[in-house]
Structure 1
Amino acid sequence: MALWSGRFTENVSEFTQRFGASLPVDKALYAQDIAGSKAHAHMLAKVGVISHEDADAIDSGLERVKNRIESGDFTFDINDEDIHMSVERALTADIGDAGARLHTGRSRNDQVATDTRLFAKKRAHDLMRANVALRHALVEQAEKHFDVILPGYTHMQHAQPVLFSHHMLAYVWMLTRDFERLAAAERAADASPLGAAALAGTTYPLDRQMTAAELGFSKVIPNSLDAVSDRDFLLDLDYACAVSCMHLSRLCEELVLWSTSEFGFIELSDSFSTGSSIMPQKKNPDFAELIRGKTGRVVGNLVSLLVTMKALPLAYNKDLQEDKYGVIDSAKTLEDCLQCAAGMIETMQIKPDNMMAQAKKGHLAATDVADYLAKKGLPFRHAHEVVGHLVLLCEQRDCNLDDLSLEDFKAASPLFEEDITSALNLESIVKARTTEGGTGNSVVRQQLDQAKTVLANDEASL
């Protein structure tokens, strides 16, 4: 019979036992469950609810259970339903009545909320470390290939030339925001529900501040109903994971494109590529594609929990058993994706000549030619039209702007002079963009230093 069987005359069926069990999922929280139980036992002894001898027996017994789980010498029985009952049953079998006193003054409702918050804090912290590692890889590539120029795109069409380092730093800033979201999720989980019991608190003189401090929580949740029913902190973590995966998917989409013959901007390492079972020549960016594909599942986990929570009345409901699978999966998936992306970025080969060759196509100097005329007094809209006609001329001749003669330029506008050639030089075009946040070499150097400072501060905070 189940631990709650006193009110029942028969047990659930074998099917409903399996259907209702959360043990296959929440056994991943064994360390958090044992830590919470130890803190609860220490507190019960301090306030005189159980003896110090019982608390000592519980503490040592729980440590033995933990060691058995971690050594693989522990059998999880589906009849235990969840990790809480599994640990308590093993503890009671080991130390007897002292183990049966452990649950005094608490419910599985505040117990699971405590375990889940501890788990969320740890996983958010793990993900922040993985985030930092990928940012290091991106910064290193930006620094190593600082002056390399590639075409910038809008609408997947050649737009203006930019520094490769500037492009890499765009992802660094995305990941910096991801770090902030993960840190916010960690803070959201940093409140103790232990002592809220089932929903209304308890008549025992529990010291909630003591257990919160022992478990590393900065505060206790002030409302017992909210304590056992809140899963906002998991939504925060799910959201942080989903946004971060979305950013990784964008990065990987570019890695896939850049590694094609059509682009040829990079070559991924053999260790982050696969071949074909039929085409000997193939080198496929499978792992970048997998990161892109796994993003959908992580987004789905966020939506799933939102839907689960949307109509739940206070306080605890069995629906909340569905809260853990998605966030466990999302955290593991994001951690793996961050690690994989860092490896791809660290080991990929950059091909500057191919990038520059493409930057010379598509009339990327057009905006600067229009700016040339505007700086000579021609209204920009008129300048835009003049350069548009020059681009059309290039299209008709199948050439680039820098192939046009000075006579061609003067025929379009008498304002053009011999110095127009400087407006067509890609290196000069890039260097001239010195507004804060622009792609000019000098301001990208400042941006790189700024990104490195923020990265160092984030790493130091871990």
Structure 2
Amino acid sequence: MGAAAGLFHVYGRHTLHSRTLATSITYCSRWDGGMECGLSVASTSPSHFPARSNYLSDYLLRMNAMRALYHPVLPSFASSTRSPTPCHRRLPTFSAAPRRRADRWIPAAAPEAMASTQPWTAQEQEKAKEAKLWGGRFEDSVTDAVERFSESVSFDKALYKQDIMGSRAHARMLAHQGLMTVSDRDSILHGLDEIERRIEAGEFVWRMDREDVHMNIEAALTDIIGEPAKKLHTARSRNDQVVTDLRLWCREAIDKIVASIKQLQVALIKLGLNNEGLIVPGYTHLQRAQPVLLQHLLLSYVEQLERDVGRLVDCKDRMNFCPLGACALAGTGLPIDRFLTSDALGFTAPMRNSIDAVSDRDFVLEFLSANSIAAVHLSRLGEEWVLWASEEFGFLTPSDSVSTGSSIMPQKKNPDPMELVRGKSARVVGDLMTLLVLCKGLPQAYNRDLQEDKEPLFDSVKTVLGMLEVTTEFAQNITFNHARIQKVLPAGHLDATTLADYLVNKGLPFRTSHEIVGRCVALCVARNCQLSELPLDQLQGINSIFKEDVYDFLGVENSVNKFSSYGSTGSECVAEQLSFWISKLQIVDG
């Protein structure tokens, strides 16, 4: 009697009290060592029990659904031998089943514990009432290890805004199509507003047992508004729901990255404008090659970043198609309007093929590919500035605000931010590799593997945004050392190619010119001088074609001024490039 009273008390926390019941239990042994029991309940307080007698049956049904079987006391319930009356009900019959991890939901209890009339804790009662939203066909609950391993809410809760946005559009469409009432739609919209408010206020409790952002929000919506929430998932699967969220999230992330790239482009152009006319060595193979204007060099990074923008914009255009309404993979027979939800969410159109809609993550791959290329560009810029900040180069000095020191060497001033930009590019490339390998072996349509697409995506976006931000700040806080650059600029015979062009203008084939200038450089190396320092008679000793006008082509300043082809480092060409970018990026005040 005590066991049943204790069992009844668990469910009756809000409505029933075990002291109002008189209970009889009959046991009979089974050959396999299990127990069967006949359970009947009679109320000692008829005024309380008749209206509430269904609660016990409902509770036992819930117990069976969740397999919360209290072996060995109550492995199954057989009908009572007593006739049912309004105050005396026959309980349903349940077949015995193995007890597997039932204590995940309801702690296992020995017979004496079940006989206790002490109420369960609120947490225990919540677990007793909780069930997976997909759990109708399951008898056993998943193990703790499987639940921990399978959950994604710890990271996909970042999609909450997009999930709520998609649910709002879906609810409005369902109401428009007559698949839910206007009243239910309004209740859902109100509930979603409240959930969003709680999340942003830090009041929302994310639950691992609800698996992901979608189930957390849907379960919370049910808690807030009740029955209407159960209509929201009409003509929708988590398969099309998550990929819709993901496309919306990527769309916003691309906009943020593009805006950050524009800020870096502006910073680079302003850095060039502040160092007008400064000539620096241009390198190939990290060996001095030709003289270039610093503005020209900085503009080369601006151009690369612009192609990064183009790739991201192209990616956004291709991803901007709506999968919502594709459902699990085959669509639905319900009269939904996918164009309505697509328009409401700002997509170009619904995706044409429902299987394709839930199958592929190529839009994420393309996004991470564009991010990886941008990260490589930033890494190369970082490498150059790290080198130039060294004592060996001494071309630039970062301010204290973007430098760090050493824990042991007091003199050190390290360009750590750009070293980390260089290092973090590896993470971004790694995120792309993770997703490529993830997708390579998947059969068509949705597979749970795709849950793993989010962490590399989120990490890639966060890392690239951080790289862009710190590179922009570094560009705004460095000083180029003009005197140092001018002092070391003549070394390396940077004007040799210009001298070869001089000979071509005199009518010699380029290969012949190349050989003659090579001999001139060898003479300079032997005499430890620059080409511009060689007397005319020594030049003519190599080839009589040299005239006095040769000195107009020698020296780094003369060399830079001789460049005139479109896009070259010549002063006029660079001025045209700067003018273009100042106009395009709408830069004011230099």
TM-score after normalising by structure 2? 0.76
Q: Who is 1:170 aligned against?
A: 300
2:151 maps to which residue? Answer: 21
Residue in 2 aligned with 1:435?
A: 565
1:447 to 577, 584, 588: 577
The answer for the alignment partner of 1:247 in structure 2 is 377
Counterpart of 2:527 in structure 1 is: 397
1:419 aligned counterpart, secondary structure: helix
Cα deviation digits, residues 281-316 of structure 1 (max 9, x gap): 111111101011111111111111111111211211
> 1:456: how far off?
4.4
8 Å contact from structure 2 (residues 553, 562) kept in 1: no
Q: Is the 8 A contact 1:151 1:356 kept in 2?
A: no
User: Which amino acid is the alignment partner of residue 144 of structure 1?
Assistant: N
Displacement after TM superposition at 1:375 (Å):
1.9
Q: Percent identity between the aligned chains?
A: 47
Distance 2:325 2:503 in 1: 73
Aligned residue type for 1:136: V
Q: 2:199 pairs with 64, 69, 85, which one?
A: 69
Is residue 2:184 matched to residue 1:54?
yes
Using the TM superposition, give the Cα deviation of residue 452 of structure 1 relative to its aligned residue in structure 2, in angstroms.
Answer: 2.9
2:279 alignment partner in structure 1: 149
Q: How many Å apart are 1:449 and its aligned residue? A: 1.7
Q: Deviations over 1:151-180 (max 9, x none)?
A: 111111111100000000000000000000
More off after superposition, 258-267 vs 417-426 = 417-426
By how many angstroms is 1:402 displaced?
2.3
Confirm or deny: 8 A CA contact 1:118 1:189 kept in the other structure.
Answer: no
Structure 2 Cα separation of the partners of residues 233 and 382 of structure 1: 53
C-alpha contact (below 8 Å) 1:185/1:236 kept by paired residues: yes
Distance 2:436 2:224 in 1: 41
Match of 1:460 in 2: none
SS of structure 1 residue aligned to 2:349: coil
Q: Distance in 2 between matches of 1:375 and 1:203?
A: 77
Matched with 2:469 is 339
Unmatched 5+ stretches in structure 2:
1-130
Amino acid at match of 1:189: M
The question of whether the paired residues in 2 share the 8 Å contact of 1:188 and 1:236 is answered with no
8 Å Cα contact 2:490-2:555 kept in structure 1: no
Q: Which residue of 2 aligns with 1:211?
A: 341
Deviations 1:374-429 (A, max 9, x none): 22233322222222112112212222222222222121122222222222132221
Range with bigger deviation, 385-394 or 294-303: 385-394
Q: Secondary structure at the match of 1:416?
A: coil
Residue 201 of structure 1 aligns to which amino acid in structure 2?
A: G
Q: CA deviation at 1:115?
A: 0.4
1:267 aligns with 2:397: yes
Aligned residues: 457
Shift of 1:216: 1.0
* CA distance in 2 between partners of 1:246 and 1:240 (Å): 10
Distance 1:343 1:5 in 2: 52
Residues 61-91 of structure 1: per-residue CA shift (max 9 Å, x gap): 1011011111111111110100000001111
Among 115, 128, 132, which residue is 1:2 paired with? 132
Which residue does 2:352 correspond to in 1? 222
Cα distance in structure 1, aligned partners of 2:392 and 2:403: 18
**Pairing 1:371–2:472 present:** no
Residue matched to 1:161: 291
Q: Which amino acid aligns with 1:418?
A: E
Q: Deviations over 1:123-177 (max 9, x none)?
A: 0111110010000001111222121100111111111100000000000000000
Of 196, 203, 225 in structure 2, the residue corresponding to residue 95 of structure 1 is: 225
Matches of 1:57 and 1:87 in 2, distance apart? 14
Aligned to 2:312: 182
- The secondary structure found in structure 2 opposite 1:104 is coil
AA in 2 matched with 1:192: C
1:258 corresponding residue in structure 2: 388
RMSD (Å), alpha carbons: 1.3
State the partner residue of 1:350. 480
Matching residue of 2:142: 12
The correspondence for 2:257, drawn from 127, 130, 134, is 127
Q: Secondary structure of the equivalent of 1:161?
A: strand
Task: Give the Cα separation in 2 of the matches to 1:456 and 1:29.
Answer: 34
| Runs of at least 5 residues in structure 1 that lack an aligned partner in the other structure | 458-462
Which residue identity does 1:262 align to in structure 2? E
Q: Which amino acid aligns with 1:451?
A: W
Contact kept, 8 Å, 1:106 with 1:198, in 2: the verdict is: yes
Distance 1:269 1:444 in 2: 27
Alignment of 1:34-53 (within 5 A): 34-53=164-183
Check whether the contact 2:498–2:562 (CA below 8 A) recurs between aligned residues: no
Aligned residue type for 1:337: M
Q: Deviations over 1:313-336 (max 9, x none)?
A: 121100110111111110111111
Is 2:543 the partner of 1:413? yes
How far apart, CA to CA, are the structure 1 residues paired with 2:492 and 2:184? 78
Match of 1:198 among 317, 325, 328: 328
- What per-residue deviation string (whole Å, max 9, x for no partner) do you get for residues 223-242 of structure 1? 11011112111111111110
Answer whether contact 2:311 2:370 (CA < 8 A) is retained.
Answer: yes
Q: Which has the higher contact order (CA 8 A, sep 6+)?
A: 1
CA distance in 1 between counterparts of 2:559 and 2:531 reads 14
Determine if contact 1:228/1:315 at 8 Å carries over to the other structure. Answer: yes
- Partner amino acid, structure 1, of 2:334: Y
Paired with 1:386 and 1:90, the residues of 2 have a C-alpha distance of 82
Structure-2 separation of matches of 1:335 and 1:75? 28
Deviations 1:104-137 (A, max 9, x none): 1111011001100100100011111001000000
Report runs of 4+ in structure 1 exceeding 6 Å deviation. none
Instruction: Give the structure 2 partner of residue 138 of structure 1.
Output: 268
Structure 1 distance, partners of 2:372, 2:394, is: 30
> Of residues 299, 313, 317 in structure 1, which corresponds to 2:443?
313
The answer to whether the aligner puts 1:286 opposite 2:416 as a matched pair is yes
Higher gyration radius (CA): 2
Q: Distance in 1 between matches of 2:416 and 2:535?
A: 47
For residues 95 and 41 of structure 1, the distance between their equivalents in structure 2, rounded to whole angstroms, comes to 14
Q: Which residue identity lines up with residue 104 of structure 1 in the other structure? A: T
